[in-house]
Chains A and B, each alone.
Chain A
Amino acid sequence: MKNNVTDIRKDFPILSTQVNGKPLVYFDNGASAQKPQAVIDSISKYYSTMHANIHRGVHTLSQNATQAYEDAREAVKKYINAQHSEEIIITRGTTESINLVAHSFVKKGDEVIISGMEHHSNIVPWQLAEVNLKVVKVKDNGELDLEDFKSKLSKNTKLVAITHVSNTLGTINPVEEIIALAHALGVKVLLDGAQAVPHMKVDVQKLDCDFYAFSAHKMYGPTGIGILYGKRDLLNAMPPYQGGGDMIKHVTFEKTTYNDLPHKFEAGTPAISEGIALGAAVEYLNKIDWDWAAKHEEELLAYATEEIKKIEGVKVIGEAKHKAGVLSFVVEGAHHYDIGTLLDQMGIAIRTGHHCTEPLMHRFDISGTARASFAFYNTKDEVKIFIDALKRSLKMLR
């Protein structure tokens, strides 16, 4: 089991590079996490020795590639403890996963409950589907207002679509409770797991969620690929999302019949190397000691929060009791863009802006925040460097 940060850092080649002449401090993991050598090697090995189209050829290469791609699906299934491998739909990422559900599970006018802390990709697909959106309020400390949720939830609700972990606030939402409340009324629940999967082991059966969406690139895998987990009965009852090759059984001009799960939702040639490399990422994550990782990240967050609060004029946005990996802040007299620019000069990568959560920015009456987001490969020393660099930046700016 991997539980030593010094050793783990050696698995990620980019972490020992320099940016602007300084050792890279990568605190933009919420936007995308870095890749271990195993993932990089997997892509290179695939194109060097294995590439062919999948699900089609009778020749050996195609069969091997198909096997590797399906092995990756199996690895994901085991990783999130899904009951069946056909419940693992491979998509382009969280965004496409949610769009798929918005296209195929709800119809115009259905009532869908989301929250005020959702990423745009869990807002706009519902608007495109022209559902009747209800938005759960966010409290001043960045926690979801559960009373407001209860008052909005009813038998008329078709779906609750809520983020597991907020990318802007770091809030870990009480999803077990939300799911129990919804299920008691027969309402289905989709969780946006984009920011949860990088920080914790997720068990979809234990959660009992109906859909779970996430992106490979945030969990140390490649870009352009992600997962929609859905309960088999629900997925079976849903119409296809896109039409094309792979998703059909037979096509005639009179009548086309669709393929079985999961292929029904996977039209066209997929991102094969990325799929296989996602399998490599999962294999890597299987070696991580998650109890250690959770504790390590908690310590980083606690230390960074404590230190940043000592700086005059800094306000932390999002102080929920349960948080994962994210420290968002604003500073009196210094714009987040300026802070991000100066930190970059010192080799430190953070994210600035509205983080694709504009409604949440309006809720807190701010134009954006500076956000440091951590992964298990970050260190306390890096937090120190970041805090010192922030102080130096603020000296220049204020």
Chain B
Amino acid sequence: MSIVDNEKEIIEDFDLFSDWEDKYEYIISLGRELPLISDQYKTEEHLVRGCQSRVWLHAEKQGANIVFTADSDAIITKGIIALLVKVLSNQPAIEVAKTDLDFINKIGLKEHLSPNRSNGLVSMIQKMKTYAAAYSAK
């Protein structure tokens, strides 16, 4: 599935939720399920700083694709990371570098990407793209 297909699927999932509680319960459950980053990468070097919650991100090249693993100390942040990983991981690096991630707006989680939240997500997405751009240039 392409990035766009992944995004579509998530938008369809979120369309089913009638209230905020269902939506956040789902995000929290995604956070719980997110395969954790392996301990060796949960280091200062992989830390994306946000002043509210912390995010760890690791990127790896597999052929033309880029694979992300990530973690956070806050479960909602982690759930949103799970969505980003679902959409972007195992995709061609060149596509990841170009994507605009509009689905976050469409599922009503835009506020989590405002710099004001300082939850590390904005910097994480920037890092994902930087890695992708670097890998596709190689």
Contacts and interface: CB of A to CB of B under 8 A. Distances in A.
Interface of A: 20, 334-338, 340-342, 345, 352-354, 367-368, 396-397
Interface stretch (B7-15, B20-28, B126-134): B20-28
Nearest to B28: A396
Contacts of A353: 51-52, 118
Contact of A352 (B21, B52, B73): B52
Interface residues of B, number: 17
B69 interface: no
Contacts of A338: 28, 74-77
B53 A335 contact: yes
B24 A396 contact: yes
B54 interface: yes
Interface in B62-97: 73-77
A338 B28 CA distance: 9
A353 B49 CA distance: 13
A337 B20 contact: no
Contacts of A345: 20-21, 24
Contacts of B52: 336-337, 340, 352-353, 368
Interface string B32-56: 0000000000000000000111100
Contacts of B21: 345, 396
A345 B75 CA distance: 16
14 contacts: A335-B76, A335-B77, A337-B119, A338-B74, A338-B76, A338-B77, A340-B52, A341-B76, A342-B76, A345-B20, A345-B24, A354-B51, A367-B73, A396-B21
Contacts of B25: 396
Interface string B90-107: 000000000000000000
A127 B76 CA distance: 36
Contacts of B54: 367
Given A353-B51, A353-B118, A337 B24 contact: no
- Which of B24, B52, B112, B119 counts the most A-chain CB atoms under 10 A from its CB? B52
Contacts of A342: 24, 76
B120 to A, nearest CB: 10
A148 to B, nearest CB: 28
B77 A337 contact: yes
Given A20-B20, A337-B119, A397 B73 contact: no
B33 to A, nearest CB: 15
A336 to B, nearest CB: 7
Contacts of A336: 52, 74
A342 B21 CA distance: 9
A335 B75 contact: yes
A45 B47 CA distance: 50
A397 B25 CA distance: 8
Contacts of A20: 20
Nearest to B77: A337
A334 B77 CA distance: 12
- Which residue, of B28, B76, B112, has the highest number of chain A Cβ atoms within 10 A? B76
Given A335-B53, A342-B24, 17 more contacts: A335-B75, A335-B76, A336-B52, A337-B53, A337-B76, A337-B119, A338-B74, A338-B76, A340-B52, A341-B24, A341-B76, A341-B112, A345-B21, A345-B24, A353-B51, A367-B73, A397-B75
B73 A335 contact: yes
A341 B54 CA distance: 15
A336 B118 CA distance: 13
B50 to A, nearest CB: 9
A330 B24 CA distance: 21
- Report which residue of A20, A335, A336, A352 has the largest number of chain B beta carbons within 10 angstroms of its beta carbon: A335
Contacts of B51: 353-354
A318 B53 CA distance: 22
B119 to A, nearest CB: 6
A37 B76 CA distance: 37
A354 B50 CA distance: 11
Given A20-B20, A337-B76, A337-B119, A397 B28 contact: yes
Nearest to A335: B74
